[in-house]
Structure 1
Amino acid sequence: MAEPNAKLKTPTDLKSNDAKSVAEALNGILADSYALYLKTKNFHWHVSGPHFRDYHLMLDEQAAQILATTDAIAERVRKTGNTTLRSIGDIARRQTIKDNDADFVSAEDMLAELREDNLKLVEILREAKEIIDEAKDNATSGVIDDWTDQAEERAWFLFETSRKG
């Protein structure tokens, strides 16, 4: 009898334990990326105030950038011979970036919260990079640098946009 995931076993040269460690790190990043995407869209939909148009457009651009990484993250998991997230519940169990279900959040607080969340994602990406480099997964190591740069840029834009004067 074949093992349950035998049909999904993608060949990889990574050692089994290393591939599993990489997949676990990437699945955590993927869950946090979805949480950050949805929070960014939530704030995009609910932002208000004198800078509405600028904030609305910036948050939409940032959400699109975050969403664009999700497929690449999931595909890296699959390329290592592992499985990835399958549901909203799976995301909720793995995410470390907190949801914001408040009825009202000021634009200033939105920008600050998203800035901190993007910096948290940078921290998570850096921790994952260590695991990935230890596994000698060069391809994932290269793209994680791009995802880190994108999150740093989002945090920077959110910081600069929220400055007074």
Structure 2
Amino acid sequence: MHIDGYCPGCGGGDGHQSCKIVKCAITTSSPEFCSLCSEYPCKNYEHITDFDSFITHQNMFANLKKLNNIGIEQYKKELEEKIKILNLLLNKYNDGRKKSFYCLAVNLLELNDINEVISKLNEKTRNETDLKKKAKIAQELFNSAAKNKNITLKLNKKRK
């Protein structure tokens, strides 16, 4: 979450002083990833996945576990592939209303599931030129893939 002295996450700004996780990373000689720390999961992680901010926290623990299991380099490769797919979706299938949806889908689904959706999407939209129709097909395919994995592609917002 705090790589090379910078965290691009929740809230922005230098130091991210309101974020207890980044504050810990700045003030201690912690490892590059929290999950590599001997104290992980610590009190900073209590209730952290209960609600989302503008990004989802739903896979936070699973992602850190995956990072530990497959290693940083392989995990980084997966994230880079997801970034490429997200850019493809935003450039070819975004009708101006799907950015958050695609971010959630790419974040919450496994790479193999995303690639399956992209394959079906390419097939189903091969002759389609209407962007709204392409976006609708993409949303339907991602929702179907998510439903098969018991995933809801919505942010879990805290009620006021």
Same fold (TM over 0.5): no
Question: What TM-score, normalized to structure 2?
Answer: 0.31
Question: What TM-score, normalized to structure 1?
Answer: 0.30
Higher relative contact order (CA 8 A, sep 6+): 1
